[in-house]
Structure 1
Amino acid sequence: MAIPSKKIAPVPIASDIGVVELIDNYFTAYNSARLREICQLLSREVLREGVTVGMSISGAMTPAGFGVSALAPLIRHGFIDWIISTGANLYHDLHYGLGMKLYSSSPFLDDVKLREQGTIRIYDIIFGYDVLLETDAFIRKILQAEPFQKRMGTAEFHNLLGKYVREIEKQVGVQHSCLLATAYECGVPIYTSSPGDSSIGMNVAALSLSGSKMVIDPSIDVNETAAIAYCARESGNPDVEGKSAAVIIGGGSPKNFLLQTQPQLHEVLGLEERGHDYFIQVTDARPDTGGLSGATPSEAVSWGKVDPEELPSTLVCYTDSTIALPIITAYVMNQCQPRPLKRLYDRREEMYSKLQHDYQQAQLVGANRND
């Protein structure tokens, strides 16, 4: 068996080098090579017709502006079809949609003085305490609107939130839409695996004390995300095989929520046993300390989360997501033609109904066998 290899033939970097040439020719080893492999796998196989791309997002990505600068463009180009995010990322994304100001600073400031001055710090990002208060006030105001007064999953909740914040963007003259507003316009469903674990969830809880009828139902999310993974097998084109890709920025609960769609299908619902076709992760966590949620691609195979035949299509780059995400974004937008928007949000009921029908049929078949 031939050992995959490519001769390292170093050439001095030119002053006018572009991002694609830099990555393809100079990211030669260690995690630079893994990042190159991710960029090339995405551009050559994943961001093609027939592949449904789900992305999980953790870590403080939106406070750094990546919701606007990286994730929104990827959505508009049809490169992200559905998302699972921490609530915190969606909350801090709202600051940009509401036209508020955040600043790049230093991680070595005096936090006692910052507290006295009413300044919040997220590592080397700072902003006024009033940003939190005004964002909270916006959330509480719109959540009292009639469309929110019912039981719903987080995709519907975030779609409504995106609709309202998009209107604010227009009113205050925001030039570049935030993640939530972009997802709303493009029909990309956004889920959060832990709805109460953010300032958005805190405000939802506060309103329940005043008689709000809104209830976030996690079971809706579990079934809707499983339905998306299930229906990813059908591309809509008989000549193109449908595939599912899991692109993971960071780890944590969003990663597991994205990957658990496959065990939900075969372990719990008894429908299929296949796993995601592509597993791509950027993380700085380690599996041997228990910090790498959902662990490595090979370990995920044992759970049925990843198709064992697709292990060559699984990649992990151990680096800072704030370094990798803008590089990946620049690379794929340069190399790939935009894909038609799948608008999976608009197809939620259709996919849910198919999952429910096939599950009920499987239950009937199982019951008849037992008889």
Structure 2
Amino acid sequence: MGAISQFIEHHYRHFNAAALKDAAQGYVKHLNEGGKMMITLAGAMSTAELGVSLAEMIRQDKVHIISCTGANLEEDLMNLVAHSHYKRIPNYRDLTPEQEWELLEQGLNRVTDTCIPEEEAFRKLQKHIFQLWKKADEAGERYFPHEFMYQMILSGVLEPYYEIDPKDSWMVAAAQKNLPIVVGGWEDSTMGNIFASYVIKGDVKASTMKSGIEYMVWLADWYRKNSGGKGVGFFQIGGGIAGDFPICVVPMMYQDLEWHDVPFWSYFCQISDSTTSYGSYSGAIPNEKITWGKLDIKTPKYVVESDATIVAPLIFAYVLGW
């Protein structure tokens, strides 16, 4: 064990600290027994630069598939090509509406304490990704959102713009591994909005982009091929569609297709700061998922109620033996 793992082993003994250690130990056990792992990314994990640790998880085969929002898909690349233009605002809670408007006029889109520069980030990616969309459209080809991103990364067109070490980009690591990615609701992202604008203008057809339903169909096939033996674990960061969309592939196959040989998810951990009240999916405890046919009674279940930007890198460090 490295220094971080030893620190966790010695100091993290109770409450959320103990839950973090238990979840990390369970993750390692799952992999050591031959299991595979899905990681889901909700919120603004890419803008939080989770790639610094997640990219190494990908390179070392500690994650086998990712489900993320469209925002996380694109924001890792935005940070990759426009990092020096980002602006951090530690006192964001004190901003007046007028100061927020000033940020808008400067082309700075705020995510909590971090502003993403529109011109340097969004538009820099847009001109390159549009060429791929247009090329596919004219050739009558169709791809998933992440596949277009992989094409852009692997073509090398972004390399002159790199402003961080590419080893800290989880999307670069994923593209190099051709890691499976599922993006439910990709339309709810900046690139999704941009794609819609080109459809409205008649530059590309909507059908050029494969849909969320096609993602689910693809995921069902992937899950059946990879759930033998120890099975597939589910490591959920936050909640929302990044988590709820892929976890439903199991009850979809079991209940709707009546494939009763489909195994449940074989490990479950969620990092969340949501409460269990108000019908929140993000705050739903793991046992609720038993009633939906997602988890088994015996599935190891962990919940760490804390900030994912603090917890996830620590668990990843433990899994990596840092």
Match of 1:317 among 290, 304, 307: 304
Mapped contact 1:152–1:216 kept (Cα < 8 A): yes
The answer to whether structure 1 residue 192 and structure 2 residue 186 are counterparts is no
Match of 2:4 among 19, 30, 38: 19
Letter in 2 for 1:81: H
Structure 1 pair 119/217, CA: closer, same or farther in 2 (3 Å)?
A: closer
Structure 1 pair 33/286, CA: closer, same or farther in 2 (3 Å)?
A: same
Match of 2:127 among 129, 134, 137: 137
Q: TM-score, normalised by structure 1?
A: 0.76
Report the CA distance between 1:49 and its aligned residue. Answer: 5.1
Mapped contact 1:249–1:282 kept (Cα < 8 A): yes
Residue in 1 that maps onto 2:212: 218
Mapped contact 1:158–1:180 kept (Cα < 8 A): no
Task: Say which is worse superposed, 316-325 or 199-208, in terms of deviation.
Answer: 199-208
Match of 1:274 among 250, 263, 280: 263
Residue in 2 that maps onto 1:248: 236
Q: TM-score, normalised by structure 2?
A: 0.87
Report the CA distance between 1:277 and its aligned residue. Answer: 0.9
Task: Say which is worse superposed, 288-297 or 194-203, in terms of deviation.
Answer: 288-297
The answer to whether structure 1 residue 84 and structure 2 residue 67 are counterparts is yes
Q: Where does structure 2 lack aligned partners over 5 or more consecutive residues?
A: none
Mapped contact 1:256–1:294 kept (Cα < 8 A): no
In 2, Cα distance between equivalents of 1:159 and 1:70? 23
Mapped contact 2:142–2:210 kept (Cα < 8 A): yes
With a CA cutoff of 8 Å and minimum separation of 6, indicate the structure with the bigger relative contact order: 2
Mapped contact 1:247–1:280 kept (Cα < 8 A): yes
In 2, Cα distance between equivalents of 1:217 and 1:204? 13
From the CA coordinates, give the structure whose radius of gyration is larger. Answer: 1
Report the CA distance between 1:58 and its aligned residue. Answer: 0.3
Letter in 2 for 1:244: V
Structure 1 pair 148/83, CA: closer, same or farther in 2 (3 Å)?
A: farther
**Superposition RMSD on alpha carbons, in Å?**
2.3
Letter in 1 for 2:307: D
Structure 1 pair 190/233, CA: closer, same or farther in 2 (3 Å)?
A: closer
Structure 1 pair 258/153, CA: closer, same or farther in 2 (3 Å)?
A: farther
Mapped contact 2:277–2:283 kept (Cα < 8 A): no
Matched residue pairs, number? 307
Residue in 1 that maps onto 2:285: 296
Match of 1:104 among 72, 76, 88: 88
In 2, Cα distance between equivalents of 1:287 and 1:302? 15
Task: Say which is worse superposed, 50-59 or 141-150, in terms of deviation.
Answer: 141-150
Percent identity for Structure 1 against Structure 2: 24
Mapped contact 2:67–2:242 kept (Cα < 8 A): yes
SS of match in other structure, 1:145: helix
Q: Deviations over 1:242-282 (max 9, x none)?
A: 31101101100111112101101111111125311111110
Task: Say which is worse superposed, 24-33 or 159-168, in terms of deviation.
Answer: 159-168
Report the CA distance between 1:291 and its aligned residue. Answer: 1.9
In 2, Cα distance between equivalents of 1:122 and 1:249? 17
Report the CA distance between 1:150 and its aligned residue. Answer: 4.6
In 2, Cα distance between equivalents of 1:215 and 1:148? 13
Report the CA distance between 1:38 and its aligned residue. Answer: 1.0
Q: Where does structure 1 lack aligned partners over 5 or more consecutive residues?
A: 1-16, 235-240, 336-371
